[in-house]
Amino acid sequence: MSEGLSPRQHQRRTKIAPADAEGVRAAAQMLRRGGLAAFPTETVYGLGADATSEPAVERIFAAKARPANNPLIAHVASLDAALEQGVFTEGALELAKRFWPGPLTLVVPFAPGAAVCEAARAGLSTIALRMPAHPVALALLSAAATPLAAPSANRSGHVSPVTAEHVARDLGSEVDLILDGGRCPVGVESTVIEFLGRPRLLRPGGITRREIEAVLGERLHEEAGEGPQRSPGLQKSHYAPRARLRLEAQDLRAGEAGLDFGGAFEGGENVLDLSPSRNLKEAAANLFAYMRELDARAPSCIAVAPVPREGLGEAINDRLRRAAAPRPHNRFP
């Protein structure tokens, strides 16, 4: 149990509060006392804890049933705050200045004397840093006055949450407070770029490969790195609904639900179209919400229409591929 919280506080039902000034103040107080507060970012809802507190961060791993060797992203309120925690190369600094606040995470060496705790970094000599763009997230970071470790606010490996209700359904009383800021607009997690030598794409996300390469003036390195996992979202099975996914589907079979794109399945009562107009930004924003909605209908399988791989399609296809991968039995109770 985290320092400063009573057994009664841990046992109560999770409160969902409006993400107004009063709610942000309450969440910041909870975080400073070692609690867990879920909050919206532009990508997905994050499960926040004081990133400088080992007991608080350990509560994140316990609540999510997350492996301890899977590092967390530390969210900060400004570039100056990030520079206190990590050592930035010229390229990393260029990306931060161009895309922060925004859906970009930078993995850089841990700065000597930095405050983010070892548990948040999974014992690594590197740190993953991001400055989110959502006004509620920025207000909370400012009010808490500390970096916040904040992975997606769901059970580890499950479909990421893009509403407060998704968080409550997945984590229930494991979270002390949920700030309801509405549905997340980007809908897929941040792009993760590693700066340990040549810049390397670890996870495609809300900022496209082309946008990043245009700023850096070079192609991103993609050779598989050896050693420990330096970024979240790299497990073979991740973002998974309970139902099995069938990718690149050209039609619907009996008992299946359809995750469509551009009207490939020609409609149906058990079909949701990520973007009838084939807009990849719209498709990314709808991806996790529609996966959850179809999964709740308990289909035998979810058939997924082909989605182009360029631009945001790279991130969408990454999530779909991991969601369709074989997963451990009984992962989601």
* Residue-wise pLDDT tens digits, 70-127: 999 999 999 999 999 999 999 999 999 999 999 999 999 999 999 999 999 999 999 9
Assign 9 a pLDDT band (cuts: 50, 70, 90). Answer: very low
Sequence spans of domains, the chain: 7-216, 244-324
Neighbours of 310 (CB within 10 A): 11
Which CATH code of 1.20.58.340, 3.30.1330.60, 3.40.710.10, 3.90.870.10 fits the domain covering 7-216?
A: 3.90.870.10
Mean pLDDT of 246-261: 96
Q: Is a pLDDT exceeding 50 seen at residue 10?
A: no
Rounded Cα–Cα distance for residues 264 and 272 (Å): 11
For residues 240-254, one letter each, b for 16 or more C-beta atoms within 10 angstroms of the residue's C-beta and e for the rest, the string is bbebbbbbebeebee
* Average confidence score pLDDT of the chain: 92
244-324 folds as Rossmann fold (3.40.50)
Beta bridge partners of 258: 271, 303
The pLDDT of residue 222 is 80
Rounded Cα–Cα distance for residues 165 and 259 (Å): 21
pTM: 0.92
Mean pLDDT of 199-206: 96
Cα three-residue angle 124-314-171, rounded to 5 degrees: 55
Run of H or E including 75: strand 73-75
List Cβ neighbours of 329 (8 Å cut-off, separation of 6 or more).
Answer: none
Mean pLDDT of 229-257: 84
Task: Return left, alpha or beta for 255; rule: phi > 0 is left, psi -120 to 50 is alpha, else beta.
Answer: left
Q: Among candidates 325, 254, 322, 241, which has minimal Cα distance to 288?
A: 241
The pLDDT of residue 266 is 86
Mean pLDDT of 34-44: 98
Structure tokens at 273: 């179209």
- DSSP secondary structure of 102-128: SSEEEEEEBPTT--S-TTTTTT-SEEE
* Residue-wise pLDDT tens digits, 272-299: 999 999 999 999 999 999 999 999 999 9
Is there a shared CATH topology between the 7-216 domain and the 244-324 domain? no
The pLDDT of residue 333 is 43
The pLDDT of residue 239 is 85
% of the chain beyond a pLDDT of 70: 90
The pLDDT of residue 3 is 38
Assign 226 a pLDDT band (cuts: 50, 70, 90). Answer: low
Is 1 or 211 the better-scoring residue by pLDDT? 211
The pLDDT of residue 230 is 66
Report the SS3 class of residue 57.
Answer: helix
